């Protein structure tokens, strides 16, 4: 080492930070990174304020955490203040020692932080990119005190910290208006409601989070405790990694929601299809909605598709496994260790299969486990071909089919030919295209039938159950009452068989 020739090549501060500004933060993810620091500092109240003033707009995040003294603040303002390889508190939400700076610079050219630790005077330091870009050497001049005229924005009472962003050149771009800011605020609110949903509240260890004076209400992606859910498992510990906890959830079918507004709210910030898959948490903070973690079968990764949109899996990892899970600086992506992938694949497959069955529900068998108290079977059957493709045919075991064919006589051959024509011309590709464009499964035309047409169909089903299956009229009415779409019209079912 003593004979090694070296040169001192410090980076130019302004150029380096300009490069770091392109890491990929959004306004919402940048604000969330600052709130992480507040939570790690033990804050119980975090207040985000966004002030519209055209090109002079600013954003302030205030907390009542433990605060910092002058030396602590100087260290926090340094880039790379901590080594991500070093051990840290189990409840720490940081890792790289970069979040405060990189998140702030991604949105603003001026970052000012004022902090006060109990029993100490407040300290105030500032980075200003306009100053740094003029520095030609390796100096990193950090400015003491706020910008002139910004003192009131940094007022603080008691212990806590204020983070102020000014010169929001990455937000207030040419043509940006107050209406655009309202859209940004809406996006920020929905993101914070999702990311911190397990940390917002009044219990110990939770925070009161406000955005422009309005409390942020948590958005629970799992609808915990909802009695209409098909699956809400216990927590599993993974073999070989007992500190990793997994919970499986399959959300209710659209028909089980009390209102369209409740259904839309459960979709999440990015919509039903995008919100499926694994939700990865560290210390109850959501890091990423990671889809299916590139898991799959037969050499193909599972996509985010409509059929599995009701499947959501909660995955909790400790911060000691950040490196093994490849948590990035933005806390937005994660990848499971190879050794754990087989277990996650099995759990995900189980959840996906159940979610698919709930999503595809259209008049399927409904049973409460009691003999004779089931609905009518589905009219459609799915058949796996030897090629692996799936074909669909009308069930020849359906009560109405058997009733019609028993009375068809010489028309039986023509009826069978007609059914085969229907089976062979199901517009599967068109259905999938319409579903993808609408982000909703197609509606059943039976749901819109006028009462007379629906009554005629119910009477035909009723006669088939009584005459072909030999059920009593009471049993036939009970079975129809458990079959879609007739289950929604108990008033019509009650009148069957009275003529």
Task: Quickly tell me which residue has 């950090």 as its tokens.
Answer: 142
The reported pLDDT for the residue numbered 377 is: 65
Q: What is the largest CA-CA distance in the chain?
A: 107
**Taking 60 as the threshold, does the pLDDT of residue 31 lie above it?**
yes
Q: What DSSP character marks residue 467?
A: H
The SS3 of residue 216 is: coil
Mean pLDDT, rounded, for 127-138: 84
Say how far apart CA 286 and CA 200 lie, in whole Å. Answer: 12
Say how far apart CA 487 and CA 172 lie, in whole Å. Answer: 54
Residues of the chain with pLDDT > 90, as a percent, come to 51
The SS3 of residue 136 is: coil
Say how far apart CA 407 and CA 410 lie, in whole Å. Answer: 9
The reported pLDDT for the residue numbered 89 is: 52
The reported pLDDT for the residue numbered 492 is: 85
pLDDT digits 0-9 by tens, 187-204: 999 999 999 999 999 888
pLDDT, greater one: 215 or 437: 215
Closest CA to 321 of 247, 237, 248, 241: 241
**Taking 90 as the threshold, does the pLDDT of residue 481 lie above it?**
no
Q: Are 359 and 310 in contact (CB under 8 A)?
A: yes
pLDDT digits 0-9 by tens, 154-194: 999 899 999 999 999 999 999 999 999 999 999 999 999 99
Q: Domains in the chain, please, with CATH?
A: 13-215 (3.30.565.10), 231-359 (no CATH), 380-493 (no CATH)
Q: Which two tokens stand for residue 70?
A: 């002058």
The reported pLDDT for the residue numbered 308 is: 94
Buried b (16+ CB within 10 A) or exposed e, 9-25: eeebbbeebeebbebeb
Backbone angles phi, psi at 383, to 5 degrees: -125, 125
User: HSE of 145 in the Cβ direction (CA atoms, 13 Å)?
Assistant: 4
């Amino acid at each position: 080492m003593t004979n090694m020739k070296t040169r001192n090549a410090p980076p130019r501060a302004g150029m380096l930070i300009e490069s770091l500004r392109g890491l990929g933060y959004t306004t919402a993810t940048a604000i969330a990174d600052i709130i992480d620091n507040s939570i790690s500092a033990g804050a119980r109240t975090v207040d985000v304020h966004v002030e519209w003033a055209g090109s002079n707009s600013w954003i302030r995040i205030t907390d009542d955490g433990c605060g910092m003294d002058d030396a602590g603040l100087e260290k926090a303002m340094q880039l790379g203040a901590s080594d991500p390889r070093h051990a840290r508190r189990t409840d720490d939400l940081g890792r790289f020692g970069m979040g405060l700076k990189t998140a702030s610079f991604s949105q603003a050219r001026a970052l000012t932080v004022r902090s006060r630790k109990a029993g100490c005077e407040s300290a105030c330091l500032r980075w200003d990119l306009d100053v740094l870009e003029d520095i030609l050497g390796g100096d990193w001049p950090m400015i003491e005190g706020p910008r002139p005229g910004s003192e009131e924005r940094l007022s603080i009472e008691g212990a806590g910290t204020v983070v102020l962003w000014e010169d929001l050149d990455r937000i207030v771009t040419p043509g940006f208006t107050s209406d655009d800011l309202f859209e940004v605020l809406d996006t920020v609110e929905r993101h914070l409601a999702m990311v911190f949903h397990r940390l917002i509240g009044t219990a110990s260890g939770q925070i009161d989070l406000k955005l422009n004076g309005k409390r942020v209400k948590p958005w629970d992606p799992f609808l915990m405790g909802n009695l209409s859910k098909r699956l809400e498992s216990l927590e599993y510990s993974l073999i070989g990694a007992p500190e990793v906890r997994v919970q499986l959830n399959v959300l209710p079918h659209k028909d089980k929601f009390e209102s369209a507004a409740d259904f839309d709210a459960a979709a999440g910030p990015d919509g039903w299809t995008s919100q499926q898959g694994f939700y990865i948490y560290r210390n109850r903070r959501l890091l990423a909605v990671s889809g299916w973690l590139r898991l799959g079968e037969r050499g193909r990764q599972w996509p985010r598709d409509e059929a599995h949109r009701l499947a959501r899996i909660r995955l909790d990892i400790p911060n000691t496994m950040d490196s093994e899970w490849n948590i990035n600086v933005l806390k937005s992506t994660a990848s499971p260790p190879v050794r754990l992938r087989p277990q996650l694949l099995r759990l995900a497959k189980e959840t996906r299969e159940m979610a698919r069955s709930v999503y595809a529900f259209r008049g399927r068998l409904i049973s409460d486990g009691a003999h004779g108290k089931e609905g009518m079977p589905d009219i459609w059957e799915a058949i796996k071909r030897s090629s692996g493709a799936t074909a669909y045919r009308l069930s020849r075991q359906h009560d109405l089919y058997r009733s019609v064919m028993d009375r068809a006589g010489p028309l039986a051959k023509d009826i069978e030919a007609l059914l085969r024509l229907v089976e062979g011309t199901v517009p599967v590709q068109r259905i999938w295209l319409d579903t993808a464009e609408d982000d909703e499964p197609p509606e059943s035309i039976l749901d819109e039938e006028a009462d007379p047409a629906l009554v005629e169909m119910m009477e035909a089903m009723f006669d088939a159950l009584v005459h072909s299956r030999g059920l009593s009229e009471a049993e036939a009415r009970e079975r129809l009452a458990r079959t879609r779409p007739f289950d929604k019209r108990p008033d019509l079912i009650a009148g069957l068989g009275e003529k």
